[in-house]
Amino acid sequence: MRKIYIFDTTLRDGEQSPGVNLNVQEKVEIGLQLEKLGIDRIEAGFPAASPGDLAAVGAVARAVKNATIIGLARSREQDIEAVREALALAQDPCIHLFLATSPIHRKHKLRMEKHQVLEAAEAAIKYAKKYFSKIEFSPEDAGRTELDFLCEVTEMAIRAGATVVNIPDTVGYMTPSEFGNIFKTLKDNVRGIEKIQLSAHCHDDLGMATANALAAVLNGADQIEGTINGIGERAGNTSLEEVAMALETRQEFFQAKTGLVLGEIYRTSRLVSKLTGMVVPGNKAIVGANAFAHESGIHQDGMLKEKTTYEIMSPETIGLKESKLVMGKHSGRHAFREKLVDLGYELEGEQLNVAFAKFKDLADRKKNVSDEDLRALIEEKLVATPEVFAFDAIQVSYSNQSAPSATVRLHHEGQAIEVSAEGNGSVDAIYMAIDKATEEEVELDDYSIQSVTQGKDALGEVHVVLKQNGISVSGRGVSTDILEASAKAYIDAINRLIDKRKSPGAGRRDNVSLI
C-alpha cells in the first residue's frame, strides 16, 4: 500500500472561511488535536498576513512536536522572512510558496508574462532554500494553467529546490478525469519528478473536491491537502475525513492509505466546528449527525439483521461510540468522569468540578443526559476565553401585542450589572440589553440555532458571528432554553472580541492580497 501524506490547512485555508477568526489559543488547541489525529503536515497560517498570524504559527510550531509545521508565503522575500521568524522554533519546519500560473491570473492579477512568472517563482524558491530544507511550491490556479506551461513550472521548481509541488484547483473548476490527467501528465513528462512529492489541493465550488483529490491519488499524488469538515474559502476545501475514510473503506480499489488515527476523526471535527462556529450539516459525509442514522423501516430492519446491509463503515471507526453508561441526576462524580473518558475527554481538578456542576444542573432540567448533550456541555468551555463578562440570569417578557423586553444580569470585575431593554423580538431584546450592559457596539452578522439531540427538552446550541470595526468573532452558547443559549452565545462572542482587541487576531488577512 502506498502511503498518502495528509496536509491539513484548516488553520490557513480553513480559516479563510467567511466569519472564521481563530485566536492563538484556539489555533494551538486545533493544532494539538490535529497532531492526535496523526496529520503529517499542518499548515498553521500565513505569517506575513498579520502579526497575530505570525504569532499563532509560532505558537503552533512550539506546541506541536509530531508533525511538520508549514507557513504560507507569497513568492516574495518579506513573506519568506516572516515564515522564517514564525517557524524559528519548529522541530520540522516547511515553507509553502505560491505564485499564480494560469493565463487568467497572469493577465489580470499579476500582469506578468510566462517568463516573469517562472523567474519570480525560481528566485523565491532559491531564496527560501537558504533557510528551509523542505519547500512546497504551488502554481496557484494550476487547474486552469496550460498543461505544457505547468510542466515547465514544475520542472523549474524541482531544479530550484522544491521538495513538494502542489497542484491547486484554486477555483474548484476541475472534474476528476481532468484533474487526474494533470498528475499523469506531470508524472510522464517532467524531468526529475521522481525526486519530489506531488500534492493535490482542491476546492469544492462544484462539489467535486474530494472526488478530484481521489482522482489525483489514482494518478500518483503522494499528498492530499484539505481541511477538517471541508471548511475553507467559498465552498471550502477537500474534506480530509472524507479522503481518509474513502481510502480506508476502499483500500483495495485505491491501493493507498493514510497514517491517520481514524478514531480521532469525530472529536477533531467537533472541535473545529465549535471553535470556528461553522456548524457541520446533518447530512455531511462521515461526520454529519445523520451520517450513521437509519430512518426508514426497511433500512432499520436490514441493520438489525446484519449491519453491513446498509452500513459501509462503522461509526466506531471514526470514534463515534455510544457508551453503555446512562447518565441522569443520580449519577455520581465517578461515573461522570468514567463517562467523559469514554467519550475521549480527560478532565481533572477544577475543570472536572466545573463540568460536573454543569452536568448536575442539566440533569435537573433533563431526565436522560445523552452523549451528545455531554459533548456539547464539555466543549462549551474547552478553550476558555477570559470571561470579562459572565452570564448570570435573564428574564424575558413576551407578548405578540407589544414589544418584548428582557432583563439581563451579568458579572463584570466582581460586580453584578443588571440592564433591561426592549427589542423587535425576544432575542433582539436580550441582545439590546447585553449591548447596554457591556457598552459594546457590535453588529450581529450571523445567528443560527440547532438542537443537539431530539425531544422537547433537547439542548439548543446557538452560534453567532459579531462584527466590530472589521474584526469578526464567533460565539457559542448551549442550554435547554434557546433564549438562554442565545444570551450565552452573544456574551461568549463579546468576550472573544475583547480578547481579540487585546491580542490582535491570529488570522485576519482581509487587507492582504494573495498576490
Q: Give the binding site for ligand KIV (CB under 6 A).
A: 13, 98, 138, 140, 168, 170, 201, 203
Q: Which residue's CB atom is positioned nearest to Zn ion?
A: 13
Distance CA 297, CA 368 (A): 25
CB of 272 to Zn ion, least distance (A): 17
Q: How far is the CB of 508 from ligand KIV (least distance, A)?
A: 17
Count how many Cα atoms sit within 13 Å of the Cα of residue 204 in the half-sphere of its side chain.
22
∠ at Cα 142 (507, 147), nearest 5°?
A: 170
138 touches which of ligand KIV, Zn ion, none (CB within 5 to 8 A by kind)? ligand KIV
426 touches, from Zn ion, ligand KIV, none (C-beta below 5 to 8 Å by class): none
In total, the chain counts a number of residues equal to 515
- Residue 179's binding partner among Zn ion, ligand KIV, none (Cβ under 5 to 8 angstroms by kind) is none
Size of the site for Zn ion (CB under 5 A): 1
Nearer to Zn ion, 10 or 268 (CB): 10
CB-wise, 100 or 121, nearer to Zn ion? 100
Q: Where are the alpha helices (DSSP H) in 255-391?
A: 265-276, 297-305, 333-343, 349-365, 371-380
Taking CB under 5 A as the binding criterion, the range among 13-21, 81-89, 204-212, 448-456 that sits at the site for Zn ion is 13-21
Rounded least distance, CB 89 to ligand KIV, Å? 24
Check binding of 372 to Zn ion (CB under 5 A): no
Cβ-based nearer residue to ligand KIV, 93 or 475: 93
Q: Which is nearer to ligand KIV, 98 or 266 (CB)?
A: 98
Which CB atom, from 154 or from 237, has the smaller least distance to Zn ion? Answer: 237
| Nearer Cβ to ligand KIV (201/463) | 201
Beta carbon of residue 101, minimum distance to ligand KIV (angstroms, whole number) = 10
Piece of the chain touching Zn ion by CB under 5 A; list 9-17, 254-262, 395-403, 465-473: 9-17
Give yes or no for residue 13 binding Zn ion (CB under 5 A): yes
Q: Is 237 or 331 the residue whose CB approaches Zn ion more closely?
A: 237
Question: Could you tell me if 262 and 244 are in contact, meaning their C-beta atoms sit under 8 angstroms apart?
Answer: yes
Please, is 228 exposed, middle or buried when counting C-beta atoms within 10 Å of its C-beta (0-12, 13-18, 19+)? buried
Cell, residue 210: 474530494
> In the complex with Zn ion, which residue's Cβ is closer, 157 or 430?
157
27 binds, among ligand KIV, Zn ion, none (CB under 5 to 8 A by kind): none
CA distance 256 to 241: 15
User: What would you report as the CA-atom Rg of the chain, rounded to the nearest whole angstrom?
Assistant: 24
Instruction: Give whichever of 23 and 138 is closer to ligand KIV, judged by the CB atom.
Output: 138
SS3 for 170-231, per residue? CCCCCCHHHHHHHHHHHHHHCCCHHHCEEEEEEECCCCCHHHHHHHHHHCCCCEEEEEHHHC
Rounded to whole angstroms, the Cα distance separating 318 from 200 reads 24
Q: Which is nearer to ligand KIV, 46 or 391 (CB)?
A: 46
Could you tell me the smallest distance in angstroms from the CB atom of residue 218 to ligand KIV? 21
Contact flag: residue 204 with Zn ion (CB under 5 A) = no
In the complex, least distance from residue 8 CB atom to ligand KIV, rounded to whole angstroms:
13
Which one of Zn ion, ligand KIV, none interacts with residue 105, CB within 5 to 8 A by kind? none
**Nearest approach, Cβ of residue 134 and Zn ion (Å):** 19
* Candidate segments 10-18, 56-64, 123-131, 408-416, binder of Zn ion by CB under 5 A: 10-18
What is the bridge-based pairing of β-strands 2-3 and 5-8?
unpaired
CB of residue 201 to Zn ion, shortest distance in Å: 6
The site partner of 140 among ligand KIV, Zn ion, none (C-beta below 5 to 8 Å per kind) is: ligand KIV
Residue type, 74: R
Closest CB to Zn ion among residues 199, 426? 199
10 Å Cβ neighbour count for 419?
16
Measured from the CB of residue 13, what is the shortest distance to Zn ion in angstroms?
A: 4
98 binds, among ligand KIV, Zn ion, none (CB under 5 to 8 A by kind): ligand KIV
Going by C-alpha positions, the residue among 17, 29, 24, 31 that lies closest to residue 47 is 24
Report strand pairing: 471-479 vs 164-169: unpaired
Using alpha carbons, list the distances in angstroms from residue 317 to 260, 266, 343: 11, 9, 14
Closest CA to 41 of 68, 62, 11, 60: 68
HEC string for 89-127 = CCCCEEEEEEEECCHHHHHHHHCCCHHHHHHHHHHHHHH
In the complex, least distance from residue 186 CB atom to ligand KIV, rounded to whole angstroms = 16
- Which window, 6-14, 187-195, 332-340, 358-366, contacts Zn ion (CB under 5 A)? 6-14
Distances (CA, A) of 441 to 408, 431, 472, 494: 17, 11, 13, 10
177 phi/psi in degrees, rounded to 5: -70, -35
Backbone angles phi, psi at 394, to 5 degrees: -135, 155
Q: Which does 495 bind (CB under 5 to 8 A by kind): ligand KIV, Zn ion, none?
A: none
Closer of 13 and 435 to Zn ion (Cβ): 13
Task: State the nearest-atom distance from the C-beta of 74 to ligand KIV, in Å.
Answer: 9
CB of 136 to Zn ion, least distance (A): 13
Q: Which residues bind Zn ion (CB under 5 A)?
A: 13
